[in-house]
Amino acid sequence: MKKLKDLTSHLLVEDTKSDENPSITSIHMDSREVKHGGLFFCIRGYTVDGHQFAEQAEKNGASAIVAEEKVDVSVPVVIVKDTKRAMAIMANAFFDHPTSKFRLIGITGTNGKTTTSHLIETILQENNNITGLIGTMYTKIGTKEAETKNTTPESLPLQELFSQMASEKVQSCVMEVSSHALDLGRVRGCDFNTAVFTNLTKDHLDYHKTMEAYKQAKGLLFAQLGNTYDGQRKTAVLNADDPASEDFEKMCAVPVLTYGIEKDSDIQAQDVNISPAGTSFTLVTPWGSRKIELSLVGRFSVYNALAAAAACLAEGVALNTITKALAKVSGVAGRFEPVDAGQPYAVIVDYAHTPDSLENVLQTIRDMANGKIYVVVGCGGDRDATKRPEMARIAVKYSQHAIFTSDNPRNEEPQQILDQMVSGVDQADDYTVISDRREAIRYAVQRANEQDVILIAGKGHETYQVIHDQVLEFDDRKEAAKAIIDINKGKQ
């Protein structure tokens, strides 16, 4: 429990419309969740304005309100310029600065964040660390998983989650940090110790508008690592093969550890060998060299492993521990995940939803495929439309047949999205348009023969389709397995 003035003392400028100093037992940004003694933040969102719910928060027991304008309530109101910024500051204080109590590793980049975070988690657990994880798929404290709405939660639930981790003696937390989260200030108050950059390719231009703005948003993670050398170990881990790393290195004051395959770097992959069975390379570091054996396939998997190894070396983990842990990783859900229902051809489900990630996965498949390649791919609605024709171009370039379909159309008409995809290819290209994703997967399965490969791209681990205001159950892996079984029965 805190007193209101204990929390407002952390704000530089504020105007409290009362001399009262009530006790604060909880803090909230959703008026429906407010309890007796709670503090409610009026947040202006994309669709609703929290100021409209101040009275409801008071009725539910709020003892104080934080707002950007006057609200008609009888409890104390703290007026601030920016309630989101105030919420991050006050939440951090309310939960007693939780990220000062464990090591926090942040990962940003267009592709590879989820796999890299899981690789780091595996290495840290091999090192006997109690771990936390926050990302696209779920949040975890130790082995306990919980659902998450955003890759990076809003500042208030994030600080509350960190508080839980601290109370459960987490030693290291690995966190995916999205460009949206950085730009919107969700990670304000997070005391990162190691910040990792995977890569920067075209994505989220519906929000950031330009690649330069997108890069600047990613760069905030490195700029916010701090500017002092106070004895606390902090490191920026940067991909030397990505040009954006040069800018990020200038943005941060802390020591930098680079990794790469092509350019000279601190952590280097040499003698890379990629096969359908897995990937091997020699990991060369200032602490020695080791042969790395991965069950993961693809050049992108080498980069993810390098990023994870570099981050863990920065965190003081021994090279032998890293080597052992990487050899144990069997895969990450929805990332180059095979579907085996007894068919004589390969079916792979992958989260690839950007031009670069789709190209990486298809290049990997082409290097290992003996038969034809089929790709089922769509583009999400209410998202960056500029990548749609490019995704289609890549699909037809690297496959023998592309099937364009729906992928979370949200509030857009699926046919409009598909028309924009088709605008990127020639009529002579080998492709089919099937709006219904279930039918598109079934179509690919019907065409595949022995030694062919089907890639179902875009949704990966997701178990739903978002169509207008409906969230419908849909899992690419289950749909593919069902189609294989049904079609096999029909052939008997």
pLDDT digits (tens, 9 = 90+) for 123-136: 999 999 999 999 98
* Contacts of the segment 466-475: beta carbons below 8 A, 24+ positions apart: 466/381, 466/408, 466/409, 466/410, 467/406, 467/408, 467/409, 467/410, 468/410, 468/411, 474/437, 474/438
> Domain count of the chain?
3
In the predicted model, what is the mean pLDDT of residues 134-144?
93
pTM (global) more than 0.85: yes
In this structure, the answer to whether residues 175 and 289 fall within a common structural domain is yes
Provide the CATH number for the domain around residue 200.
3.40.1190.10
d(CA 478, CA 270): 38
Half-sphere exposure of 409 (CA within 13 A, CB side): 19
| pLDDT exceeds 70 at position 492 | no
Q: Which of 94, 115, 140 is the last residue of a domain?
A: 94
Question: Which residue, 5, 9, 76, 13, is CA-closest to 40?
Answer: 76
> Is 306 found in the same domain as 440?
no
Q: Both 29 and 163 in a single domain?
A: no
- 75 plus 146 within the same structural domain: no
If phi over 0 gives left and psi between -120 and 50 gives alpha, with beta otherwise, what is residue 173? beta
The per-residue pLDDT for 453 is 96
Does residue 196 sit in the same domain as residue 107?
Answer: yes
- Give the per-residue pLDDT at 480: 97
Q: Token pair of 378, please?
A: 């769509």
Please determine, for residue 27, whether its predicted confidence score (pLDDT) is greater than 90. Answer: yes
In the chain, the amino acid numbered 192 is F
pLDDT, mean of residues 362-385? 94
Residue with tokens 């981050």: 311
* pLDDT of 264 above 80: yes
Residues 192 and 307 in one domain: yes
Are both 346 and 276 inside the same structural domain?
no
Q: Does residue 343 contact residue 408 with C-beta atoms inside 8 Å? A: no
337 neighbors 460 (Cβ within 8 angstroms): yes
Structural domain range at position 482: 337-491
What is the CATH classification number for the domain harbouring 373? 3.90.190.20
Q: pLDDT tens for residues 64-83? A: 999 999 999 999 999 999 99
pLDDT of 411 strictly over 90: yes
Q: Of 61, 77, 94, which residue is a domain's last?
A: 94
Residue that wins the pLDDT comparison between 16 and 151: 16
Lowest-pLDDT choice from 149-153, 395-399, 413-417 = 149-153
Q: Are 190 and 247 members of one domain?
A: yes
Q: Specify whether the CB–CB gap between 145 and 134 falls below 8 A.
A: no
From CA 87, how far away is CA 184, in angstroms rounded? Answer: 12
3-state secondary structure 277-341: CEEEEEEEECCEEEEEEECCCCHHHHHHHHHHHHHHHHCCCCHHHHHHHHHHCCCECCECEECCC
Does one domain contain both 192 and 104? Answer: yes
- Condensed to tens digits (0 to 9), the pLDDT of residues 315-345 reads 999 999 999 999 999 889 999 999 999 999 9
pLDDT at 407 over 90: yes
Instruction: In whole angstroms, give the CA distance from residue 170 to residue 101.
Output: 9
459 contacts: CB under 8 Å, gap ≥ 6? 334, 349, 351, 353, 407, 408, 474, 476
Condensed to tens digits (0 to 9), the pLDDT of residues 33-63 reads 999 999 999 999 878 999 999 999 999 999 9
Q: At 390, is the pLDDT very low, low, confident or very high (cuts 50, 70, 90)? A: very high
Q: Is the pLDDT of residue 14 over 90?
A: no
Is 468 exposed, middle or buried (CB count within 10 Å of its CB: 0-12, 13-18, 19+)?
exposed
Final residue before a domain boundary, out of 275, 296, 328:
328
Chain position carrying tokens 């949040």? 139
Q: Provide the pLDDT for residue 29.
A: 96
262: amino acid identity, one letter: E
Can you read off the two tokens belonging to residue 119?
């690789």
- Looking at residue 171, what is its pLDDT? 98
Query: 255 and 230: one domain?
Result: yes
DSSP 67-130: ESS--S-SS-EEE-S-HHHHHHHHHHHHTT-GGGSSEEEEEESSSSHHHHHHHHHHHHHHTT--
Residue closest to 301 by CA, chosen among 336, 266, 325: 336
Nearest to 333 by CA among 459, 206, 467, 468: 459
CATH of the domain at 90: 3.40.1390.10
Asked if residues 372 and 452 have their Cβ atoms less than 8 Å apart, the reply is yes
Taking phi over 0 as left and psi of -120 to 50 as alpha, with beta for the rest, 43 belongs to beta
Cα-to-chain-centroid distance, residue 340: 27
The CA distance from 377 to 406, in Å, is 8
User: By the 8 A CB rule, do 303 and 261 touch?
Assistant: yes
Same domain for 230 and 280: yes
Clarify whether residues 156 and 294 are in a common domain: yes
Residue 491 pLDDT class (50, 70, 90 cuts): low
**What is the rounded distance in angstroms from the CA atom of residue 148 to the CA atom of residue 168?**
19
For the chain, the farthest-separated pair of C-alpha atoms sits apart, in whole angstroms, at 81
For the residues 189-209, what does the mean pLDDT come to?
88
